[in-house]
A and B are shown apart, each in its own frame.
Chain A
Amino acid sequence: MAFAWTPACAQQASSPTEVTADAPGTLDNTPPSRGKLFNDDKLLLTNGVATVEGSSGGGLSSWAVIPGMETDHGIGISAFVTGLSLRDFRLEAHGVSIGIKDRLALSYARENFNTLSAGTALGLGHGYTFRQDIIGTKLRLFGDAVYGPAWLPEVSIGAEFKHNLNAAVARFVGAKQSAGTDFTASATKLMLGQSVLIATTFRLTNANQFGLLGFGGDRRSARSAEFEGALGYQITRTLVVGGEVRTRPDNLGFARETGAHDVFVAWSPRKHVTFTGAFVDIGPVATFRPQRGAYLSLQITT
């Protein structure tokens, strides 16, 4: 049994700062979150909420944060469902994402864009629905959104592979492709001293209306560099209010596309649940007047 009598034992037993006689039963202590795969240890709301494209962010803009409540020793899983009721259309999105060691994110989202009665006017039929699948991935390169120097944000790069399921209609309105890939580079920081969160993303994309009207167009087919930004103010530990802006390409000749913006409230009553409400304006869609409306999202996370 001599193997167990190591210098570490001797040092520990004799080191006065490491051993106290007045902590009986400490040998039985096992911190439960240690070694847990789903450790749930991330700080509230620092995982962000799912964007309509499934990546973690603020709803409209992508952030550098990795989804899930895991830290660098665990795995987190997140699921969301979002409804956006616009003047003439209705967007429903849902999806899941997984965060691995607060380093790598993989996400899947489905978008269903219902044209309601506008579908009739567009000659597509009432309730014609554009659908899109999005597989996303994000890699945190360096930095920490919460800790570390205030000037050093969390920085991530990502890609979103978008597959439009309405290829014929997308081509008919002038789109060059029915599938496309966005590339993103994001920086996010919670300025604790001010309780302010700042998130910026540059996105290389040729998606028309997020990709719901295909990719590239008669006016421009190549990707352009677009900007996404979010400002949030943390009112309490569980409540954040803020606003987002997002520029978008304008590739299609038949209908102008503009930027989008919103104001939002995110509330996380407990670690596993976040509700997001927003008022969103995505500008004109397919010749229809500017589309504004209420956004409601539920995210369940571990």
Chain B
Amino acid sequence: MALVRISRLCAIAALALAGFAANPGFAEPPTAPGQTQADVDWFKEFGVDKPKRDPVTGELPVAPYTHTDANAGAAPFEGAGMARAFGGQDGIHQIADRLVDIAIVDPRIKGVFAASDLVRLRRTLYEQFCYILDAGCHYSGRDMAESHKQLGIMNGEMNALVEDLQRAMRERHIAFATQNRFLAKLAPMKKDVVRR
């Protein structure tokens, strides 16, 4: 995972830089006694502005892009059958949320989400599912290639996410054939999601 690796490299670099600054003998770690790595304010360490969450949505800002339903990566189902089978917007919301809950603790893929804005992810994932299932939503997220391009996702991780989604749907008692109909809409996205 390149991102994590770079993060680690940066952390090491920052540790080293800070160590030099504080003590040319390079003996002191940059953290105060009792302070863990996670407590370090890296934004301050690097002298950059900490991104501010939107006070209303709670989301971090993203670079501008064109909003279109086409970004969802699949044409929606026709008719209300699939939306009904998924329990309407409420049911879809719960499945999308549950998928995020499962995925971010799944040891196989939790690293993929380590640097994600989960508030935004929950919203856009819900919108995407809701749009594809024709439950009356528009998708406002980025397209699949753009939203996954820096994640370095591998085939096995895509499979892990599918299994997590299957679990989320199973927990909501979605019939297996219906689950597969939905997965059939997502399966062609693999070429944009899996990058290596």
Residues of A within 8 A of B (CB): 1, 4-6, 8-10, 12-14, 16-21, 23-34, 39, 41-43, 71-74, 102, 144, 146-150, 191-195, 234-237
Contact = CB atoms under 8 A, between A and B. Distances in A.
B162 interface: yes
Dominant SS at the A interface?
loop
A31 B9 contact: no
30 contacts: A1-B17, A6-B9, A9-B9, A12-B7, A14-B48, A16-B51, A20-B51, A20-B116, A20-B117, A20-B118, A25-B38, A27-B8, A27-B37, A28-B37, A29-B4, A30-B111, A31-B109, A31-B112, A31-B157, A33-B108, A33-B160, A34-B154, A42-B156, A71-B159, A147-B190, A148-B187, A148-B188, A148-B191, A150-B184, A191-B184
A144 B190 contact: yes
B156 A192 contact: no
Interface string B1-22: 1011011111111001100100
Interface in B106-153: 107-112, 114-118, 150
Contacts of A12: 3, 6-7, 10
B166 A237 contact: yes
A29 B188 CA distance: 29
B13 A5 contact: yes
A71 B154 contact: yes
Contacts of B110: 29, 31
- Interface hub of A6, A10, A20 (most chain B Cβ within 10 A): A20
Contacts of A9: 6, 9-10, 13, 46
Dominant SS at the B interface?
helix
Given A13-B46, A14-B49, A25-B38, 10 more contacts: A12-B7, A16-B61, A18-B150, A31-B157, A33-B157, A33-B160, A41-B156, A71-B155, A194-B180, A237-B176
Nearest to A39: B156
Contacts of B156: 33, 39, 41-42, 71, 73-74
A32 B10 contact: no
Interface of B: 1, 3-4, 6-13, 16-17, 20, 36-39, 41-43, 46, 48-51, 60-63, 107-112, 114-118, 150, 154-160, 162-163, 166, 170, 176-177, 180-181, 183-184, 187-188, 190-191
Contact of B190 (A4, A10, A31, A148): A148
Instruction: Give the 9 A-B residue pairs with the shortest CB-CB distance, closest first.
Output: A41-B156, A4-B13, A16-B51, A192-B184, A193-B184, A24-B38, A31-B111, A26-B114, A147-B190
Contacts of A18: 3, 115, 150
B111 A234 contact: no
B22 to A, nearest CB: 13
Nearest to A46: B159
